[in-house]
């Protein structure tokens, strides 16, 4: 009976290790934050925080064959943040933002049913940040 219980516990442990790890994710979030509010649906993502340090990853899914772009905006009270995106297995700089900065813009056009990763990376501790990203049909 003892061996049976040990075998069950070992199996459950292995399942939990593989379930809770980020084996299937291309990018992994690792951060510390206070008062962080985040949303992430298939076509929009946003994050707001009082303080933040580290890397936070979101993803948008282009489920249609239509051409789309990402409409983005952000503000930061203090610190430095770099925001990247990855669409074709290449991490590209979307924008940099510093103390008392704000950004507003659109990306290039994307086509195809693909996941678009948004990666927010801080350069140390940041405060008072708010970022939003929306996948929109291209106006081309």
User: The CATH number of the domain where 123 resides is what?
Assistant: 2.60.120
Handedness of CA 61, 62, 64, 65 (dihedral sign): negative
pLDDT at 3: 72
List the domain range (segments joined by +) for residue 105: 27-137
For residue 33, being part of any structural domain is answered with yes
For residue 94, being part of any structural domain is answered with yes
Of the candidates 38, 47, 39, the one whose C-alpha atom is nearest the C-alpha of residue 81 is 47
For residue 7, being part of any structural domain is answered with no
pLDDT at 110: 74
pLDDT at 25: 63
For residue 19, being part of any structural domain is answered with no
For residue 120, being part of any structural domain is answered with yes
Q: State the pTM of this model.
A: 0.77
The pair phi, psi for residue 67, each rounded to 5°, is -75, 135
For residue 59, being part of any structural domain is answered with yes
| Residue-wise pLDDT tens digits, 60-88 | 988 777 788 899 999 999 999 999 998 77
Tokens of 115: 């996941």
Of the candidates 61, 116, 107, 109, the one whose C-alpha atom is nearest the C-alpha of residue 88 is 116
pLDDT at 24: 52
For residue 20, being part of any structural domain is answered with no
Give dist(CA 105, CA 72) in Å, integer. Answer: 5
For residue 37, being part of any structural domain is answered with yes
Work out how many domains the chain is built from and give that number. 1
Give dist(CA 126, CA 16) in Å, integer. Answer: 33
């Amino acid at each position: 009976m003892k061996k049976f219980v040990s075998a069950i516990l070992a199996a459950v442990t292995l399942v939990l290790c593989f379930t809770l790890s980020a084996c299937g994710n291309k990018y992994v979030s690792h951060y510390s934050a206070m008062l962080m509010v985040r949303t992430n649906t298939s076509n929009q993502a946003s994050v707001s925080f009082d303080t933040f340090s580290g890397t936070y990853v979101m993803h948008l899914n282009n489920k249609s064959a239509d051409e789309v772009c990402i409409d983005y905006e952000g503000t930061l009270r203090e610190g430095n943040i770099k925001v990247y995106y990855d669409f074709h297995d290449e991490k590209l700089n979307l924008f940099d933002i510093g103390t008392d900065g704000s950004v507003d813009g659109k990306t290039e056009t994307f086509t195809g049913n693909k996941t678009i990763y948004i990666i927010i990376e801080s350069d140390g501790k940041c405060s008072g940040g708010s970022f939003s990203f929306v996948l929109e049909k291209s106006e081309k």
